A and B are shown apart, each in its own frame.
Chain A
Amino acid sequence: MTEPLNWRLRVVHTTGYRYATAVTQSYNEARLTPRSDDRQNLMVARLETVPTARVNRYTDYWGTEVNTFDLHTPHTELKVTAASVVETAAETVPAEIATWAEVRSAEAVDRHAEFLEWTTYVPKHRELSAVARSLRKGRTPDETVLAVSKWVHDTLKYQRGTTGVHSSAVDAWQAREGVCQDYAHLTLTLLRAVGIPSRYVSGYLHTKPNAAVGETVVGESHAWIEAWTGSWWGFDPTNDIPIGHRHVWVATGRDYADVSPLKGIYSGGAATAIEVTVNMTRLA
């Protein structure tokens, strides 16, 4: 059942880079446009850059809308602003509940093979597999997803600066600290260890559950997971909460590498991120 779409949110995501020496050329891909599905409806989206560039668009293998742009005039700063308005639904429960036999059927394994694979961010790890197996005991697949998410939430301490963009699930687990990207990867490592197809979700989180209409809050570029237990459904291990009004999804993939919000290649000096802000306003 689809819940009524009862939040409307404006998201303004600004990223700024400063370069040590002038950049003469750069080629960039932005995966910042929210998608539409049965719990989210994209109303409008726009991407702007300073210096200005012509933005081209395509849909990638994962169905994500990609904005591409290149710059050819020397610049020492780059600012990318992605703005959108989306409607989001309240929390939903999984539409269908599958048994372990169904999750592991040859047909399901073949269909979801990519979401059972190990990757650099989501590697196979003996000790973590053992943890996953113990969490699975006596639980159905969907209960296991909740148990694994809770375990990750309880095991990691939310802490910026310990891990980086290239850290794997194991790196974060060994540090016992990380950010949402790490929570998501660690959850995926455990779920895939017990054969539950699962994927990385990139998006935004509105940080105030009882926000008033018209109020702008500082949001976050966020990540969570989706698991397949008969149907795909999401869960947010960083906050140990279901996906609801406050979650705006942008892209899904095997791990962060498939959905990297902004990536590029340039010639010039070292870059520092000088500004990353996400402003979210509840419009209705």
Chain B
Amino acid sequence: MGEDAQMSRSSIRPGGDRLFDRYLDPRRPHAEAYDEMFDPVEGVRPAYRRLHESLMPLQPGDLTTRSDALDRALVDQGITFSLSGQERPFPLDLVPRVITASEWSRLERGIVQRVRALEAFLADVYGPQQIVADGVLPRRLITSCEHFHRQAAGLAPPNGVRIHVAGIDVVRDEQGDFRVLEDNLRSPSGVSYVMENRRTMARVFPDLFMKHRVRAVDNYAVHLLRALRAAAPPGTTDPNVVVLTPGVYNSAYFEHSLLARQMGVELVEGRDLFARNNMIYLRTTEGEQRVDVIYRRIDDEFLDPVQFEPDSVLGVAGLVNAARAGNVVVANAVGNGVGDDKLIYTYLPEILKYYLGETPLLPNVDTYRCWLPSEQAEVLDRLDELVTKPVEGSGGYGIVFGPDASAKELAAQRRRIRSNPRGWIAQPVVQLSTVPTKVGERLQPRHVDLRPFAVNDGESVFVLPGGLTRVAIPEGSLIVNSSQGGGSKDTWVLAGRASDEDAELRGSGLAARPRSDGATTPERGPELNIAQQQQQQ
């Protein structure tokens, strides 16, 4: 194609520099993807100019030295991510990803808009369902959603917030424009890596931070705690906030404990809590403590055995009814999954227009809905070109890349779609943008996505500048999920020229860590796991 020819002739190949040797090889897979460091005509993009200058003097051996230092630092910090049951260091690439102030400001506005619309949508879905009554969305779209939890109907949180934390996954398309790939409104994880990656990078590359004005990410927990306290039931003067974890075997336990420590609140498991007369208490060695807000990292299905899985011992019996009575706030709210269903995602433009009267600032990726017969026919016709995804689920499980699938896999996928059209959507293969990534002793383009984190305190939606950049390590791979063996990058949002934002290494923020575990020790309660009910005669 013309673009390839243009690339091979262009002068952007970074000279004789060995780090970037054959970086923009036109024969590389997905050569039409947008590279965030190099413009095929103009060369190094402005955002990356200083970073590029800093990298140029490095010898290939230096890369390995630096990268070993990073790995050691990560192991010291204890960051691991469970992959198929095995613990291994979460690979942090040494080249950061850079986003300019103006790019960020557009992205941020798009995310805030999205969170506001989804909040309004969830309030409506679990309330009057006006959007259905007005004929904007089919009722069946909602009632057929696996995560539409009828147990949450009529449950209205005191300050109206259901999406205390959102993780909005975005990618950059071939033009470099950000598009939303999926919303995560239940328990989006990964923010601990954002903070820890930054801490590690600052330790290993202090020189790089001196040359850039990178916006700080270490105040995330301050924003989260503020939002959780603001969510507390009215009349609570000093809300007792806890982080509820499924326990030490959960893959994100590290994150749960980090957030609890940074917020200076108790990290608890289900058996540490109990409900009595629609109030929630924490058992401690010093007696019972009323709990006002629970930042839970347990899925809805396991949260309350009275309402969901009756044999779950991870949750707290009676929690949902206590929340319904307004005596405790569950964050994120029960039933948020209806807002991040990938079929409902395709209706985001309608949802935005209905609740906010606005058009999307951040477009979706073009998506086909298998549940509409006409679109399903097209998907089945072009299955070998499209990516098909289950509407529910994350972590890359169940996704079929048409171009990589065998005839047998495609046939199996065709059957799956036909037997459950509501369960699948399809998208063209998006050529995710690339960022230089250390591969061996060279830097190679590798595909990335981005999960920015938004925190809603009811007054405003704060978006942590940056987010988790995930990178697909195998050459040509477009699958960036950490559960599929991907790595990560530190994500730099550059401060605007006139900005008075704290930049990294310019304040005292980095080294400061809030207090560790509180003085009280949780006690355990009995397990509740027997269900009783009676046949109707």
Give residues in A with beta carbon < 8 Å to B. Answer: 15, 17, 24-27, 29, 54, 56, 58-62, 68, 70, 72, 109-111, 113-114, 117, 160, 163-165, 179-181, 202, 220-223, 256, 258, 260-268, 270-271, 273, 276
Contact = CB atoms under 8 A, between A and B. Distances in A.
Given A54-B277, A220-B537, A265-B317, A61 B532 contact: no
Pick the 10 closest A-B CB pairs, nearest first.
A61-B153, A61-B150, A165-B535, A113-B140, A263-B533, A267-B526, A181-B536, A27-B317, A223-B536, A27-B318
A88 B168 CA distance: 53
Nearest to B153: A61
A25 B537 contact: no
B276 interface: yes
Contacts of A117: 144
Contacts of A179: 535-537
Given A117-B144, A221-B534, A260-B533, 11 more contacts: A27-B275, A29-B306, A58-B154, A59-B154, A68-B278, A70-B318, A110-B139, A181-B536, A262-B534, A263-B532, A271-B532
A232 to B, nearest CB: 16
Contacts of B278: 56, 68
18 contacts: A15-B534, A24-B526, A25-B317, A27-B317, A58-B154, A61-B154, A110-B139, A110-B140, A179-B537, A180-B536, A221-B536, A222-B536, A258-B150, A263-B533, A265-B305, A266-B528, A267-B527, A267-B528
B532 A17 contact: yes
A220 B139 CA distance: 36
A265 B277 contact: no
A179 B527 CA distance: 33
B531 interface: yes
B527 A264 contact: no
Contact of A264 (B143, B154, B306): B306
Contacts of B530: 265-268, 270-271
A15 B537 CA distance: 13
B274 interface: yes
Interface residues of B, number: 35
Most chain-A Cβ atoms within 10 A of its Cβ — which of B154, B275, B324, B528? B528
B537 A262 contact: no
A70 B275 contact: yes
Given A27-B306, A256-B536, A114 B143 contact: yes
Given A60-B150, A265-B305, A266-B530, A113 B535 contact: no
Contacts of A113: 139-140, 143-144
Contacts of A267: 526-530
A256 B529 CA distance: 21
A264 B529 CA distance: 10
A165 B534 contact: yes
B310 interface: yes
A273 B534 CA distance: 8
B325 interface: yes
Given A68-B321, A265-B530, A202 B154 contact: no
B138 interface: yes
A258 B532 CA distance: 15
A273 B324 CA distance: 30
A109 B526 CA distance: 46
B128 to A, nearest CB: 13
A70 B534 CA distance: 18
A141 B324 CA distance: 40
A77 to B, nearest CB: 13
B534 A222 contact: no
Contacts of B325: 56, 58
B521 to A, nearest CB: 21
Contacts of A222: 536-537
Nearest to B274: A25
B393 to A, nearest CB: 21
Contacts of B532: 17, 262-266, 271
Contact of A25 (B140, B153, B526, B535): B526
A60 B529 contact: no
A15 B532 CA distance: 12
A270 B274 CA distance: 22
Interface in B500-537: 525-537
